[in-house]
Amino acid sequence: MHFRTICRIVGLLLIIFSVTMIVPSLVSIIYKEDTGIAFIKTFICAQIIGFLFWAPNFKEKNELQTREGFLIVVLFWIVLGSVGALPFLFLKYPNLSITNAFFESFSGLTTTGATILFNLDKLPQSILFYRQMLQWFGGMGIIVLALAILPILGTGGMQLYKAEMPGPLKDNKMQPRIAETAKILWLIYVALTFLCALSLWFAGLPIIEAIGHSFSTVSIGGFSTHDENIGFYKNTNVEIIISIFLIISGCNYSLHFFAFSKKKINIYYKDMEFRIFFLIQITLIIISFLTLLKFSDDSTFNLDLFNKVFFQVISISTTAGFTSDKISNWPTYLPILLIISSCIGSCSGSTGGGIKVIRIILLYLHWSTELKKIIHPNAIYSIKINDYAISEKIIKNILCFILSYILILIISTLILISTGIDYFSSFSSVAATLNNVGIGFGVVENNFFNLNDFSKWILILTMLFGRLEIFTLLIILTPTFWRE
């Protein structure tokens, strides 16, 4: 394994990330806040650490193999989350412990959106903007950005792309060259962010909050600048805009590219994963609305209630985790249903979390095929998605992924229970972080501050498992990975 090449690339990526600290520094200057020094200190620290990784190894340019790709991505995300915590440690207010600073940083970068902060309305704008910015860079991924802007990473870049991007069908590229694919992904991402920010601004949000919430919407992150989250605005137009962009962002980005390049909107309808994803949203909205209507005083159609349900269901099922209502007041089975929907999550190749809709579809098709084989043992069946045959290798990969997902969910929940947290809160916390949805129930309904430090570190680990699609992190923990 080429460790010096790995160090060179990690150092280079960290130097790129350090430049992002200039933006919240400028925000602090604009709003005349004294927080800018914390971001400048972080910029300097990240530059130094990145230089120490890169400088001794800058001549090492070996082609990356699969193992190196996995290790670079995991190592970089750990270093990235650690450096991202520095501004919270340098700031006098909020005065965060090391554990809480790391939790907030990793929650932002993994687009989980779980927070340990409260009194958000009193925090400086630069800190609030920084949290949103972390989610935006974490949404599409710093490594994908680096592949787009640095030809130097082109050698073995596919290994990095596969290790960071979500979904089981990672060999499907929009362009032959991986750098071109990365550029297209980021262009779509930036365009959606701009349109979302503009729409929120027109809907009445201050420009800084419109930009911040466009960051956390398009990245499907869920951080807000207020304790009441989106409910603070009491603005139906804002909720509708965010919901629409969550659905767009929860869609496979390759569909956006082909729909735009071929000028055919029916590409979305032709895609099985998107059809099922859309059907899940509609079904959940109808079930939730009818349930709440049944338990309300007025059983006639209520537009305000429908809007609230529409926003909340899409927010959780796409794994954003924005809130506009106190969901704990809903009938008990609805929060559980929404937690399950967040486990399914968004489409592959999107910025959303969860298992991904495509894996659930393929799991169902495999189950259906196996039942048919019992009845007709000599028949030959093939599993197809959008007229493409799915190999047995991918099916085995998906089965292994879902088994790993269930084991991590169960083991992490049991660990949290062993620390004294109640069963439902433990399960809710792990589901919130593993699915990168952020919203919890029970003792973590408002935020995660009151959890013990050990539990927070376990949840940081589950955030990484969720963002890196389990295998990327799990594989480096196996002895086989380290054998030559």
DSSP 413-448: HHHHHHTT--HHHHHHHHHHHHTT-----GGGSS-S
To 5 degrees, how large is the angle CA 476–CA 484–CA 82?
Answer: 30
Q: In whole angstroms, what is the distance from residue 226 CA to residue 123 CA?
A: 9
Average pLDDT over residues 426-446: 93
The proportion of the chain whose per-residue pLDDT surpasses 90, expressed as a percent, equals: 62
Average pLDDT over residues 259-264: 85
Q: Which residues are annotated as a binding site?
A: 111-112, 220-221, 319-320, 436-437
- Which of 70, 271, 261 has the alpha carbon at shortest distance from 175? 261
Task: Inform me whether the pLDDT recorded for 170 exceeds 60.
Answer: no
- Which of 414, 441, 446 has the alpha carbon at shortest distance from 332? 441
Could you tell me which residues come within 8 angstroms of residue 137 by beta carbon, excluding any fewer than 6 positions away? 17, 20, 109, 145
Question: What are the CA-CA distances from residue 101 to residues 84, 333, 381 (Å)?
Answer: 9, 34, 52
Q: In whole angstroms, what is the distance from residue 130 CA to residue 221 CA?
A: 13
At 158, the pLDDT band (50, 70, 90 cuts) reads low
Query: What confidence score (pLDDT) does residue 154 get?
Result: 45
Average pLDDT over residues 251-280: 90
Query: What confidence score (pLDDT) does residue 471 get?
Result: 87
At 483, the pLDDT band (50, 70, 90 cuts) reads confident
Where b means 16+ CB within 10 Å and e means fewer, 156-175 reads: bbbbbbbbbbbbbbbeeebe
Packed helices 125-140 and 207-218: angle between N→C axes, nearest 10 degrees: 30
Phi, psi of 388 (to 5 degrees): -105, 130
SS3 385: strand
Across the chain, mean pLDDT equals 89
Task: Inform me whether the pLDDT recorded for 312 exceeds 90.
Answer: yes
To 5 degrees, how large is the angle CA 356–CA 359–CA 360?
Answer: 90
Average pLDDT over residues 302-328: 92
Task: Inform me whether the pLDDT recorded for 300 exceeds 70.
Answer: no
Q: Which residues are annotated as a binding site for K(+)?
A: 111-112, 220-221, 319-320, 436-437
pLDDT tens, position by position, 41-76: 999 999 999 999 988 887 777 777 778 888 888 898
pTM of the model: 0.92
At 155, the pLDDT band (50, 70, 90 cuts) reads very low
Q: In whole angstroms, what is the distance from residue 161 CA to residue 144 CA?
A: 6
- Which of 331, 332, 352 has the alpha carbon at shortest distance from 438? 352
Q: Is the peptide bond before 87 cis (omega within 30 degrees of 0)?
A: no
Query: What confidence score (pLDDT) does residue 329 get?
Result: 86
- Which of 447, 460, 452 has the alpha carbon at shortest distance from 120? 447
Please identify which residue in the block is written with the tokens 């083991």. 411
| Residue 355 half-sphere exposure toward CB, CA atoms < 13 A | 27
The proportion of the chain whose per-residue pLDDT surpasses 70, expressed as a percent, equals: 91
Query: What confidence score (pLDDT) does residue 149 get?
Result: 55
Q: In whole angstroms, what is the distance from residue 447 CA to residue 4 CA?
A: 41
